[in-house]
């Protein structure tokens, strides 16, 4: 199946964008009467017949449509610090889209080595990955957002933060504070394995830090804002690897 992206598709007649028309007519050499499949990025899948094979604006006759194709029972938002090497972050966007993700929020942290995010280029990466992996939902790409702004935003769901800061030894029983106080005062409190922290069928927001990790102050702020600290395993992972690990774990958890 060769998918085409048509975010503003009209029925029964629709004209492909110039980029998609050129790919359809010049690259794939499809002509009048041939049938193609389209996605709108919102769960809609359409089958159409080519009425006019124009590489500047291919005209289609929509014959059938399906909505909610590939819908999942959870919504996953990944807030990830862009990597110093932009190719690595784009690799994450590509693979996360292939696995299944709903939104990506690039975050600017204290230790961030890249403080620029180009949404146009990133948008092309996710569109290509959506079509290649036969997905019908296009992940939302937010603008670069300061960490301190994101963590205090309301979020209806489970909020997790993955970090690599060394953990403090457990407190003695007589020193144990109430959970809310412990979370606010101890940025190094024990992390929960992501497999235990992730629920099924619930919206989730996961924070992944930059190459230098989150600072203790950032972790403490996240905990005060209701985030649960998690571990992704015993290895120290690159930012893009950690982010993809979280996406895949959420996918497997909800199979």
Residue 52 domain-assigned (yes or no): yes
Residue 50 domain-assigned (yes or no): yes
Please check whether residues 175 and 83 belong to one and the same domain. yes
DSSP, residue by residue, 107-151:
EE-TT-S-----HHHHHHHHHHHHHHTT-SBPPEEPPPEEHHHHH
Please check whether residues 138 and 46 belong to one and the same domain. no
Residue 20 domain-assigned (yes or no): yes
Please check whether residues 224 and 132 belong to one and the same domain. yes
Please check whether residues 99 and 136 belong to one and the same domain. yes
- Report pLDDT for 189: 61
Please check whether residues 16 and 99 belong to one and the same domain. no
d(CA 58, CA 18) in angstroms, rounded, equals: 8
Phi and psi, residue 28, nearest 5°: -85, -15
Please check whether residues 12 and 130 belong to one and the same domain. no
pTM: 0.88
Please check whether residues 209 and 103 belong to one and the same domain. yes
Please check whether residues 54 and 111 belong to one and the same domain. no
- Report pLDDT for 97: 98
Task: Write the CATH number for 144.
Answer: 3.40.1280.10
Encoding tokens for residue 10? 């009209």
Task: Write the CATH number for 57.
Answer: 2.40.240.20
Residue 183 domain-assigned (yes or no): yes
Domain boundary among 66, 93, 114: 66
Please check whether residues 114 and 237 belong to one and the same domain. yes
Q: In whole angstroms, how far apart are CA 236 and each of 16, 180, 206?
A: 45, 28, 17
Which stretches of the chain drop beneath a pLDDT of 50?
168-185
- Count how many domains the chain has: 2
d(CA 239, CA 16) in angstroms, rounded, equals: 37
Residue 95 domain-assigned (yes or no): yes
* Cα–chain center distance at 232: 17
d(CA 226, CA 238) in angstroms, rounded, equals: 25
Cis ω on the peptide bond leading into residue 53 (within 30° of 0)? Answer: no
CA atoms within 13 A on the CB side of 241: 7
What residues make up the domain containing 27?
3-66
Please check whether residues 159 and 194 belong to one and the same domain. yes
Please check whether residues 109 and 141 belong to one and the same domain. yes
Please check whether residues 57 and 178 belong to one and the same domain. no
Residue 128 domain-assigned (yes or no): yes
Domain boundary among 22, 39, 66: 66
Residue 71 domain-assigned (yes or no): no
Total residue count of the chain as it appears in this document: 255
Label residue 218 exposed, middle or buried (CB < 10 Å: 0-12, 13-18, 19+).
Answer: buried
Q: Are 52 and 17 in contact (CB under 8 A)?
A: no
Domain boundary among 66, 93, 112: 66
């Amino acid at each position: 199946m060769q998918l085409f992206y048509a975010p503003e598709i009209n029925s029964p007649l629709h004209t492909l964008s110039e980029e998609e028309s050129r790919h359809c007519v010049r690259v794939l050499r499809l002509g009048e009467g041939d049938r193609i499949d389209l996605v709108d990025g919102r769960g809609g899948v359409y089958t159409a017949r080519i009425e006019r094979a124009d590489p500047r604006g291919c005209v289609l006759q929509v014959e059938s449509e399906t909505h909610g194709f590939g819908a999942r029972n959870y919504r996953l938002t990944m807030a990830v610090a862009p990597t110093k090497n932009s190719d690595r972050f784009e690799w994450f966007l590509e693979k996360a889209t292939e696995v299944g993700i709903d939104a990506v929020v690039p975050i600017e942290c204290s230790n961030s080595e890249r403080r620029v995010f180009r949404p146009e280029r990133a948008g092309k990466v996710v569109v290509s990955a959506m079509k290649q992996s036969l997905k019908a939902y296009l992940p939302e790409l937010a603008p670069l957002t300061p960490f301190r702004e994101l963590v205090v935003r309301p979020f209806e769901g489970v909020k997790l933060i993955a970090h690599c800061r060394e953990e403090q030894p457990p407190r003695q029983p007589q020193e144990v504070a109430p959970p809310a106080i412990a979370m606010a005062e101890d940025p190094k409190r024990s992390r929960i394995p992501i497999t235990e922290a992730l629920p099924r069928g619930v919206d989730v927001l996961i924070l992944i830090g930059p190459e230098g990790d989150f600072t203790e102050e950032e972790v403490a702020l996240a905990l005060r804002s209701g985030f649960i600290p998690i571990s992704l395993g015993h290895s120290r992972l690159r930012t893009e690897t950690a982010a993809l690990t979280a996406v895949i774990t959420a996918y497997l958890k909800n199979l």
